Structure 1
Amino acid sequence: MGMERDWIYFDANASEPARPVALEAMVRAASVIGNPSSVHRAGRQARSVLESARERLAGLFGTRPDNCVMTSGGTEANLLAVAGLGEGRRVLASAVEHDAVRAAAVADIIPVAGDGVVRLDVLERMLGEPESRPALVCLMLANNEVGTIQPVAEAARLCHRHGALLHVDAVQAAGRIAVDLRALGADSMALSGHKFGGVKGAGALLLAGEATRTLPPVMAGGGQELGRRGGTPALPAIAAMAEAAVEAVGALANADAASVMAGWRDAIEAAAVAVGAVACGGAALRLPNTISLALPGRAAQTQLIALDLAGFGVSAGSACSSGKVARSHVLDAMGLGPLAGEAIRVSLPWTTREDEVMRFIDAYRAMAARLPARRATLEEAGA
């Protein structure tokens, strides 16, 4: 394909391209023969790889190594937190949580404002309701669909004032903005390696405070992970996750790079709005790489196909819905009505180049001009 990529991947929130350092770490770890639970030399070598990765992740994201629980990914990390820490507690979750949290427990829903930011006044009222059981509150740090960054530190203070625990899904935030469990004040936090340039198959649940003492396993087994999660760890994926985290977090120190990414986001958004699109959550503090664009009267699936044919891979809503393009519960919660079925997500990967952004803007303009808007139904028109 030469210097120009014929098909451009703008779906980083589904999975970032693997970083070369992560692939190298994966291959090195795959050559380690032993099981980390074995006591012989090969086992000790494998244990060294595992514990080195654990120490790096813990140091990067603000906890102690013994409170970094390795999992198969973000979904399992969220499940482990919600099912384990939520045992015997009332579960509260924001209306824009990922399905990995929504499916983990029956929860009372905390509404969000039109920009996707959680209503802290409602959360405080819910926490103060007469209720015999203490609560577990679930609040994602950054939304996977619109990129909205939530006021997690403020929510943590409210939770602890009322004797509640706070679990944070930081899957989309890690590696894109500063993320530190101690600074956030949360009790647990989920990570997923392939979201910041690792390979698929590894994640982590970080613990703090009471959560370090009260987390029962969801998957029991041979006593691995201090009895919090059974099963032989996926050593190659874990090693890759740690190496990718070091590089991704290190890159955050480059303020110019972060500014460039946010500038590309804003350029795409401005060009789309100029041809009739609606920027979902555009007024809120957001991830620098994430844009949600609704094109009134054009179904999301139709837009995805048109852009794919034009050479761009984007998505609609979450990528964890078994390949389905469905109406977005996030945009519904934000009160966007029919636009919830007409929005696409553009999420720029760490490999993005300026010429690719310019090509996407041209492709989006052409698509918006070419696709006919469907007529509103009588119900949508208010008849």
Structure 2
Amino acid sequence: MLYFDHCATTPPYEEVVDAVREVMDRHFGNPSSIHRIGIDAERLLAKAREQVARLLGAHPDEIVFTSGGTESNNLAVIGTALQHGGRGKHIVTTAIEHASVSECCVYLERLGYEVTYVTPDGTGRVTAEDVLGAVRDDTILVSVMHVNNEIGTIQPVREIGAALRDKPRVLFHVDAVQSVGKIPVQPAEWGIDLLSASAHKIRGPKGNGFLYRRKGVTLQPILIGGGQEGGDRSGTENVPGIVGLAKAFRMTMERREAAFARLMELRRQLLDRLQSIPDLVYNGSATETDMAPHIVHVSAPGFKSEVVVHALEEHGIYISTKSACSSGEDRPSRVLLACGADRARASSGLRISMSADHTAAEIDRLADALQQTVEQLRRYR
């Protein structure tokens, strides 16, 4: 089996599985309990929070543990809107955000908020000038993802954060689910107020994530209850999963520079092979530094992407069409449409997302299978 769908999820490190199992077995206490078993669990929670904060260049009090990237994005976007709606009801985002951001914006529009959706260029990249140009006196939030989860374009969040420093009433949120552990992310230095991350994208357990909330930033909680996580996110913390998240984050960061170099080699090799397949059209920027190292996205106009995916599965090769949250939908990619692609191109996208553990031989096997699949399907087009 060759798994090339690491944007959807990643296989957990064995060490993470062992850590989660041990905590579930030996440290099952509720971290809010005042007895010894609860205190032991609370200590593990505090240690994990300190480790995540250190790796992110943050303070432990700035880390809010959540159930994953979707909840982190919801808390950042809706929590900001509800908390600060009294001083303005305008939000700036892009037309290519993950559904966990874009659908929050649609929800807020129904509540009377106004949202400006900045359109990217043909490579899937917005400019800092366009984002800043959309900011108004009543803007309370700018939300721009770091790496697009579908085609892999890196957005200029550092430049946007720097420019927003002159607008202290505007909070800046970054969905970093596809960038944390892959490329440098420095929220404090880049002027980011809120940053979302997910454990299972970095070989950690599903159902865990965190939101970096810069000290001094206030949010309206979207989960009401016992006031855990400093009041930002009620609900008993998933201590085993959080420990697994922290361990996966540490292990991933220890390997990040080597993994980046390896992934860039694999990416170049794959792009070189795919260029020889005439039916495929590359989506993204030709400028290497504008693209995430682990994602390659192509379209096969005239073919149904789902058919290609299932045909590759017969070869034991697994890729995807778009975000795993929407891959089952039979409609064109809204990301590609926003980039100016026609319907045929937007309906035939194929996302290949790699791991640094892949080999050159596996890349060749993928390319060979994809070429063979396209040639076979061409006969029935």
Q: Give me the TM-score of the superposition, normalised by structure 2.
A: 0.91
Taking a change above 3 Å as real, the CA distance of residues 210 and 327 of structure 1, as seen in their structure-2 partners, is: farther
Over the matched positions of the two proteins, sequence identity in percent amounts to 35
For the aligned residue pairs, the C-alpha RMSD in angstroms reads 1.6
Residues 1:39 and 2:47 aligned together: no
Residues 1:202 and 2:204 aligned together: no
Moved more, 305-314 or 282-291: 282-291
1:247 to partner: Cα distance: 0.6
> Is the contact made by 2:274 and 2:367 (CA closer than 8 Å) also made in structure 1?
yes
Residue aligning to 1:95: 95
| C-alpha separation in 2, matches of 1:300 and 1:184 | 37
Residue aligning to 2:21: 27
Residues 1:279 and 2:282 aligned together: yes
| C-alpha separation in 2, matches of 1:295 and 1:318 | 17
Residue aligning to 1:121: 129
Taking a change above 3 Å as real, the CA distance of residues 278 and 322 of structure 1, as seen in their structure-2 partners, is: closer
1:1-383 matches, within 5 Å, as 7-31=1-25, 32-87=27-82, 88=85, 89-106=89-106, 107-127=115-135, 129=136, 131=137, 133-162=138-167, 163-211=169-217, 214-254=218-258, 257-276=259-278, 277-284=280-287, 285-321=290-326, 323-337=328-342, 338-372=344-378
| C-alpha separation in 2, matches of 1:326 and 1:262 | 31
> Is the contact made by 2:263 and 2:355 (CA closer than 8 Å) also made in structure 1?
no
| C-alpha separation in 2, matches of 1:307 and 1:322 | 16
Name the SS of the counterpart of 2:206 in structure 1.
coil
| C-alpha separation in 1, matches of 2:69 and 2:20 | 19
> Is the contact made by 1:269 and 1:293 (CA closer than 8 Å) also made in structure 2?
no
| C-alpha separation in 1, matches of 2:61 and 2:253 | 21
Name the SS of the counterpart of 2:146 in structure 1.
coil
> Is the contact made by 1:137 and 1:159 (CA closer than 8 Å) also made in structure 2?
no
1:209 to partner: Cα distance: 4.8
Name the SS of the counterpart of 1:135 in structure 2.
strand
| C-alpha separation in 1, matches of 2:197 and 2:230 | 19
1:29 to partner: Cα distance: 1.4
Deviations 1:253-295, CA, capped at 9 Å, x for gaps: 33xx422211211221221121121110032411111000111
Q: Partner letter of residue 194 of structure 1?
A: H
1:183 to partner: Cα distance: 2.4
Deviations 1:335-382, CA, capped at 9 Å, x for gaps: 11121111100001243233211211111111121112887xxxxxxx
> Is the contact made by 2:164 and 2:191 (CA closer than 8 Å) also made in structure 1?
no
| C-alpha separation in 2, matches of 1:92 and 1:354 | 41
| C-alpha separation in 2, matches of 1:71 and 1:208 | 16
| C-alpha separation in 1, matches of 2:201 and 2:362 | 21
| C-alpha separation in 2, matches of 1:192 and 1:233 | 15
| C-alpha separation in 1, matches of 2:118 and 2:62 | 28
Taking a change above 3 Å as real, the CA distance of residues 350 and 294 of structure 1, as seen in their structure-2 partners, is: same
Taking a change above 3 Å as real, the CA distance of residues 115 and 374 of structure 1, as seen in their structure-2 partners, is: farther
1:322 to partner: Cα distance: 7.0
Gaps of 5+ in 1: 1-6, 376-383
Q: Give me the TM-score of the superposition, normalised by structure 1.
A: 0.91
Name the SS of the counterpart of 1:86 in structure 2.
helix
Taking a change above 3 Å as real, the CA distance of residues 215 and 205 of structure 1, as seen in their structure-2 partners, is: same
Gaps of 5+ in 2: 107-114
Moved more, 138-147 or 263-272: 263-272
> Is the contact made by 1:60 and 1:180 (CA closer than 8 Å) also made in structure 2?
no
Q: Partner letter of residue 267 of structure 2?
A: R
| C-alpha separation in 1, matches of 2:379 and 2:231 | 56
> Is the contact made by 1:17 and 1:351 (CA closer than 8 Å) also made in structure 2?
no
Moved more, 359-368 or 76-85: 359-368
| C-alpha separation in 1, matches of 2:275 and 2:377 | 16
